[in-house]
Amino acid sequence: MSSLSRLLKESWALVEEQQEKLASYFYARIFLSSPQARELFPVQMDVQRARLLGAIVTAVQSVDDPERFDEYLRSLGRDHRKFHVTADQYDVVGAALMEALRTFAGDEWSPEYDQAWRDAYAVISRKMIAGAEDDADNPPYWHAEVLFHERRSQDIAVITARPLQQVDFRAGQYFSVECKYQPRLWRVYSAANAPRKDRSIDFHVRALGAGWVSSALVRRVRPGDMIRLAAPMGSMLLDRRSSRDIVCIAGGTGLAPIKALIEELTRYNRTRWVHVFFGARDRDDLYDLAALNRLAGSYPWLSVVPACSEDVDYAGEQGNINEVVARYGPWQDHDFFVSGSPGMVRATLRTLAEMQVPAMRIKYDAFGDM
């Protein structure tokens, strides 16, 4: 660990337990010095769900190796264009962060800690601002019309939306999405298809019980509604130079980016075997199995293994999807793509490590903090 990173972690430990109060103070400072910034944030500022402070702390603490995060920070800056963030607001937010840290750390705060946070914040915000500036030729977000909205189970909908203008993205990437029922709340959803000529993009959304955006997308959005999509992000992409066979492991709507990768493969693959493991709690949640089976019927290189973890009468594989994958194999020579809830991704990465799969062959997206 570098000394900068040690200072950042050590000093954050001083305030960590007062995080909630620190967050309220931080947002209050921002809105006091820049009342117009209030307009950028969600209408209901629920500090526990507000994302900015936590995100900055995570980013600052990973500053050890800013070059490794260069691409991520640039795309985050580009993504912030959707909030209409201006370059000078980075100073406002940085100042609020420093004041909040000093206030809550009290006597134990030191000049070294102060310097470490200011340096780290400066590096990150510079990269984000550069990312936003380089994207100036694109709009900050795209308007898209919902063409189809199909409920596939109690909690899951497949939504097809068509951006009014061309949006460039790659199979495996995700978009920030906002809808009129939850203004200014953006959440990311993976495109479930490779880019199409008609520009349309499918999303597979599961409504989480108390989840604000996912519930609106599943239960309220209708064909004809406009939604907004911000710059695509993510690096769970196919490497066309690899000749290894592929294993895709999806949990629930984690199938979305996997389906996009399969669709891309249908356009050029002839030589790589592709094994898809699709896990859900019960058969209702295997919401896209029919489409997967159709693809497997058309492409001899594709095989699909569905599994249920809580449906004892299900005739196929039983168990968590990582356990099911472990029953097949061996997998040491494959490229892996894993996508689903944080718990599912964690369990799968553990299983793959136990099966001696090299970490560098595994790409994954977790639908939340790991």
Ligand X SMILES: Cc1cc2nc3c(=O)[nH]c(=O)nc-3n(C[C@H](O)[C@H](O)[C@H](O)COP(=O)(O)OP(=O)(O)OC[C@H]3O[C@@H](n4cnc5c(N)ncnc54)[C@H](O)[C@@H]3O)c2cc1C
Which residues form the interface with ligand HEM (CB under 6 A)? 37, 40-42, 50-52, 55-56, 59, 76, 80, 83, 85, 89-90, 93, 121, 124-125, 128, 176, 185-186
CA distance 339 to 351: 14
Cα dihedral 236→238→239→244 (10° resolution):
110
CB of 3 to ligand X, least distance (A): 31
Q: What are phi and psi of 303, to 5 degrees?
A: -130, 150
Residue 302 binds which one of ligand HEM, ligand X, none, with CB within 5 to 8 A depending on kind?
Answer: none
Collapsing DSSP states into helix, strand and coil, what is residue 83?
Answer: helix
Minimum separation from the CB atom of position 7 to ligand HEM (A): 17
Nearer to ligand X by Cβ, of 250 and 274: the residue is: 250
For the sheet with 156-163, list strands across it: 187-190, 174-179, 226-233, 142-151, 156-163, 201-206
Which one of ligand HEM, ligand X, none interacts with residue 253, CB within 5 to 8 A by kind?
ligand X
Nearest-CB residue to ligand X? Answer: 211
CA distance 351 to 325: 9
Task: Identify which of residues 69 and 212 has a Cβ nearer to ligand X in the complex.
Answer: 212
Residue 90 contact among ligand X, ligand HEM, none, beta carbon within 5 to 8 Å by kind: ligand HEM
- Which one, 124 or 159, has the nearer CB to ligand X? 159
- Pick between residue 15 and residue 217 the one whose CB is nearest to ligand X: 217
3-state SS assignment for residue 312: coil
Residues pairing with 156 in the sheet: 206
Find the shortest distance in angstroms from Cβ 151 to ligand X.
13
Q: Which is nearer to ligand HEM, 231 or 292 (CB)?
A: 231
Write out the two tokens for 283: 């058969």
